[in-house]
Structure 1
Amino acid sequence: MSNKRPYDFFVTGTDTEIGKTFSSSALLQALAQRGTSSVGMKPIASGAELRDGVWHNEDVDSLIAASSVKTDTALVCPYLMQTPAAPHIVAKQENVDISLPHILASYQQLTHAAEAVIVEGVGGFCVPLNDTVDTADLAQQLDLPVILVVGLRLGCINHALLTAQAIRARGLRLAAWIANTVDQDMLYLAENIAAIQQRIGAPLLGQIPRLSGNPTDNMKTAATYLNLNILK
């Protein structure tokens, strides 16, 4: 379905809680810093809190803050569910029917608003969305090149290579990967990055260190570690 826009990407990760949203936000900031209008999208988010009568999800809010184009939140996140758990379980409990055509239509509307749309998946690459489709099906339907966020911690080499294999098995192009430091005390961190780089068959977009400070500053700082030139 993709019209092969040069800066539209699907961002997935080796697991949950490994920095997909942070990396996606940094990517949006990096695009904006080079003058490319950008908007983030998280089609499915589970885990929300009510603030001033409006349901908010931390990941969705981060993507909105990082986007240079502001648009309808319902397009950014077509499916926002309340319970922080696996989406297929929460969707059933909250009577939500996750429809890939609806997500694809929302993505298409976002392409009219910005030069770049960064679509962040949920959890890892093969997370179920309902009884019949998973996140890999969504990525396949979007037909966007994939950026893989690898959380640097023990076990990351295996997770990275298996996920890269799964991405290619769906006929998708692994455009690049991001090394995001989850465990700053990880032994042989540089050696792990080198081992992945030698085997994964995709360029390293950047290595993001563990940052301390407020989220907005961290996001802007993280953007400086990404080399967008390799995406051309």
Structure 2
Amino acid sequence: MTKAFFIAGTDTDVGKTVASRAILHAADKANIQIAGYKPVASGSQITEDGIRNSDALYLQQASVVPLTYDEVNPYAFEAPISPHLASEQENRPIDFAVLSQGLAHLKAKSEVVLVEGAGGWRVPVTHDVCLSSWVKQEQLPVVLVVGVKLGCLSHAMLTAEAIERDGLEMVGWVANRINPGTEHYAEIIQMLEQKLPGKKLGEIPYMPGIKKRNLADYIDLAPLGLTVEA
């Protein structure tokens, strides 16, 4: 059976795409046929090829399995706002059936599907429903991306609690150093290791142009139960 994992963030702009690319790169290095999936994305641009989201493009480029843009990102909205507002603004309701069909399609083409979320765990896709409801419907194990900055400990622990309350397994987490000036970095990592469920997949350091770098060496795939070929 094809495995699938959901990449959640402690907030928006914490590095979900960076962490997702790192996992995709590590899987590529391990000869694992993996596909990236960004079901819902806000903050997209109109191009001659159609509407395109930069995060989804990064996932498309890093996927080991060749994918079209539409396979990676079924819902791209132009405005850089919450998906429920962008959906209303463009009069394009987000249908969970479409998200599930896209996931099933990618599962048929790959060994592993990496599903990147939007915003934080409780990001709304309508006034009444959050994207986390779809993750729960699909029973996807979750990898949490912690943007290491002041306040991240509370955000990380609250998000982990919400994931577990939803009956889902948090299989691991990734520390992404988004603020190089954050003090007591080692102590923050130590507390995350003590408090968060699941194992640490890796720590991604702050570096310029990070979305253009190969990040395979910063990720350990073992906590995901993925077989690494020699």
Match of 2:76 in 1: 80
What amino acid is the match of 2:175?
A: A
Residues in 2 aligned to 1:74 and 1:118: alpha-carbon distance in whole angstroms: 15
CA RMSD of aligned residues (A): 1.2
User: TM-score w.r.t. structure 2 length?
Assistant: 0.94
The equivalent position to 2:110 in structure 1, one of 98, 109, 114, is 114
Q: Which moved more, 1:51-60 or 1:79-88?
A: 51-60
Runs of 4+ in 1 over 4 A off after TM superposition: none
Mapping for residues 150-161 of structure 1, pairs under 5 Å: 150-161=146-157
User: TM-score w.r.t. structure 1 length?
Assistant: 0.93
Residues in 2 aligned to 1:214 and 1:19: alpha-carbon distance in whole angstroms: 10
Unaligned runs of 5+ in 1: none
Residues in 2 aligned to 1:148 and 1:214: alpha-carbon distance in whole angstroms: 19
Match of 2:18 in 1: 22
Q: Determine helix, strand or coil for the equivalent of 1:150.
A: strand
What amino acid is the match of 1:98?
A: I
8 A Cα contact 2:60 2:68, kept in partner: no
The equivalent position to 1:176 in structure 2, one of 172, 175, 180, is 172
Identity of aligned residues (%): 36
2:53 is the counterpart of 1:57: yes
The equivalent position to 1:196 in structure 2, one of 185, 188, 192, is 192
Match of 1:224 in 2: 217
2:120 is the counterpart of 1:127: no
8 A Cα contact 2:176 2:204, kept in partner: yes
Match of 2:228 in 1: none
Unaligned runs of 5+ in 2: 226-230
The equivalent position to 1:36 in structure 2, one of 27, 32, 36, is 32
Q: Determine helix, strand or coil for the equivalent of 1:125.
A: coil
What amino acid is the match of 1:132?
A: D
1:118-151 CA-partner distances (Å, limit 9, x unpaired): 0001000001001221021021012111000000
What amino acid is the match of 2:107?
A: T
Residues in 2 aligned to 1:213 and 1:84: alpha-carbon distance in whole angstroms: 21
Q: Determine helix, strand or coil for the equivalent of 2:219.
A: coil
The equivalent position to 2:161 in structure 1, one of 161, 165, 188, is 165
Residues in 2 aligned to 1:48 and 1:156: alpha-carbon distance in whole angstroms: 27
1:88-121 CA-partner distances (Å, limit 9, x unpaired): 0110011011011110011000111111110001
Match of 2:95 in 1: 99
Q: CA deviation at 1:53?
A: 4.1
Q: CA deviation at 1:168?
A: 0.4
Q: Determine helix, strand or coil for the equivalent of 1:112.
A: helix
What amino acid is the match of 2:181?
A: D
